[in-house]
Amino acid sequence: MIGIRGDRSRGAFASLACATVLLLAGCATASPQAGSPPSASPTPTAACPLVEGVELPPECAPYDPEKSMAQNDTYRQRMDISDETRAAAEEAIEKVQPALDALRTSGDISTDAVVAVMTEAGLMSTQTIGGRRGVAFGVVGPKGGCIFGEVSADALIIEAGGYIMDGGCLPAQ
């Protein structure tokens, strides 16, 4: 009986060993095959700004830095709003402007004070950035769009417009 059991285990071991070898052989890397010869023209390896009247070396991939900077600031641009949305926002501006101007002249400028003015006028979800020297604010208008601006001891700026391209009424700083 022991001999029979041993024969079976040897066969199982041999099958397992063969399977392992076949699996490991599939993991080996293939040797490089002969392909097309290397190209005589260089591949661009660096980005180089376009300069008028200057020929770029062949290893440069040209780009327009002014266009790149403009694209980089696209997130700050505002979307268009309808005339109805703008009219509703301008009505809300007329409500909050006297209270914001009172903050400006009193010198009691804070993010909490600006949020309180907006909330009292029925405008919710006010975004603010700043402190005692000045507060930038943005809030969704009554029919969409944004009411945004800044209040400081020197000036009150308040406008109506669309959401900025990356969402919200106040761009990230």
Going residue by residue through the chain, which has 173 residues, state the pLDDT in tens, using 9 for 90 and above: 444 555 566 666 667 666 676 666 666 565 556 566 666 666 667 788 888 888 888 888 887 878 777 677 777 789 999 999 999 999 999 999 999 999 999 988 999 999 999 999 999 899 999 977 899 999 999 999 999 999 999 999 999 999 998 888 988 77
- Looking at 101-165, which runs of residues are DSSP E strands? 127-131, 134-140, 146-152, 156-161
Q: Tell me the whole-structure pTM to 2 decimals.
A: 0.60
Phi, psi of 90 (to 5 degrees): -70, -35
List the chain domain ranges: 41-72, 78-161
Q: What are the residues facing 137 on neighbouring strands?
A: 128, 149
Torsion sign across C-alpha atoms 122, 128, 130, 135:
negative
Tokens 């009986």 belong to which residue? 1
| Ordered strands of the 146-152 beta sheet | 127-131, 134-140, 146-152, 156-161
